[in-house]
Amino acid sequence: MKRSYTVFVVILITFLSYTGCNRQKIEKPKPRPIDNNVLMNTNRIVSVTEESIIDDYVSRYQYNMKKSGSGLRYMIYKTTNNKKTKQGDKVLLNYTLDLINGQHCYSSSSDGQIVFIIGKTSTVRGLDEGVLLMKKGEKAKFILPSHLGYGFQGDMKKIPKKAILVYDVELVDVDVFNIDDDGAIDDVEVPFIFGVVVEVGASLSF
């Protein structure tokens, strides 16, 4: 009887060890690779939907807006005879930024003016493109589909993912910096750059 019990215990241990090993060998299913066709179709659907929303918005407010090849809608409603901006110009903007549903996000009056170098700093793509259409002293309204704004991610603060943005912009100044050889800013007060206060004489690397 004792021998039969011993044999039973050995068989049980062997069985448990075998099933345990098999359990460890089971591989987790590998994640499916991203299907580029599905991604392209998703982007196309988003683009068509956003176009419809923007068309309705423009029609509702009866804006006389133009459309660029990238999808930017723009309307310069105050013009000047100054020289048009170009790539590499340093610009200072007053602005308001809302979502297309009217929800307010940011503005120069509450968050500070925007300062950036056209085509050189990591500002929103649609804003970069829009400012290139302007001259110093002009005012414009831009509507940015999400791919020209903050895309599928948003800004992790007030702008949600896939948001259509409405900018109202005044181009206050162009080439606002007097930059020394060491990269220091002199003789100009720039209160805001990408959410950071910049003091006169501070050093910026572009």
User: Between 90 and 7, where is the model more confident?
Assistant: 90
Q: Are strands 90-99 and 165-174 parallel, antiparallel or unpaired?
A: antiparallel
Instruction: Yes or no: say if 112 and 101 are a contact pair by the CB < 8 Å rule.
Output: no
pTM: 0.68
Q: How far is CA 42 from CA 21, 119, 165, 206, in A?
A: 43, 28, 20, 36
Q: What is the CATH number of domain 38-186?
A: 3.10.50.40
Write down the pLDDT at residue 67: 97
Lowest-confidence pick of 65-69, 134-138, 191-195: 191-195
The 10s digit of each residue's pLDDT in 6-43 is 545 445 555 555 555 544 545 566 666 655 555 445 56
